[in-house]
A = this chain, B = another copy of it.
């Protein structure tokens, strides 16, 4: 049997036929165009599901066990309701009911970071670890928790909001409305903000030169590249960013002490050198870490396909 995994995000809907080894047989993306009625988004999603099945030459009714959808926000796994999504601007949306109008297969809906965590823990960076965490460092920070090889949802399907734990009380404003959240320091948005501030203060800096004085061109790559060229202001931005990332990870270790934490999201592209620096800080500072007992800090290695693969791995909900 096969399953179809769908990643419904702000920009694209991507669907793929996945086999039982976690391999994608066919895949296609279409734009989400999210500023239109949900019914239209879902109609496109259902048509996409049918197309990828055809492309993989598998029969939707007899060869596909179920469709799994990973998407933003807090999802009620029992009912397939999107309880809350700040990004989509949704509250209590009956997504499953809408999808079922188009598809007569079983459909399961799950938070995308939880799908990511599920896939990485079975096929990827956290494979084989009993308790693991995935943290996605991107424009914001999200995450998923795996305990006893299963996704841990918390009381109301909202566990793992690592980005919104506070590391600096009354600190930088966060998109969630509070202040001092980890996401306000260790996301790409925060890094770009800090790089812009450093560059505008120091027009003599390599960072300023690299954007030709146009701060709109600042990206998360630039402070790292400028730091390699010896820009002291970029070195400071990168150094502080490393501390911010490490601090949140240390907090996760001190609370959950997982066997491993995998870093996903676009900032994983900064690469191993950055993660090694972060890991060193975590090992030095976190409680009870030593050569015999280390929470492994790793790069996630399945990329964006992990959400599709994890969504395809979903099972019927049981309490």
Contacts and interface: CB of A to CB of B under 8 A. Distances in A.
Contacts of A176: 287
A256 interface: yes
A171 B131 CA distance: 30
Contacts of A130: 155
A154 interface: yes
A84 B154 CA distance: 29
B256 A159 contact: yes
Contacts of A288: 74, 83-84, 156-158, 161
A169 B159 CA distance: 23
Given A83-B288, A178-B285, A285-B178, A256 B154 contact: yes
A255 B156 contact: no
A140 interface: no
Interface in A232-272: 243-244, 247, 250-252, 254-259
B166 A251 contact: yes
Contacts of A227: none
Number of identical protomers:
2
A293 interface: yes
Contacts of A153: 257
A167 interface: yes
Interface in A25-53: none
A121 interface: no
A159 B243 CA distance: 22
Given A156-B293, A159-B257, A165-B251, 8 more contacts: A130-B155, A157-B288, A161-B257, A162-B255, A166-B167, A168-B168, A169-B244, A178-B285
Interface of A: 74, 83-84, 130-131, 147-148, 152-162, 164-169, 171, 176, 178, 243-244, 247, 250-252, 254-259, 285, 287-288, 292-293, 295
19 contacts: A83-B288, A83-B293, A131-B155, A147-B152, A154-B258, A155-B259, A156-B288, A158-B257, A160-B255, A161-B254, A161-B255, A161-B287, A164-B254, A165-B254, A166-B167, A169-B243, A169-B247, A255-B255, A256-B256
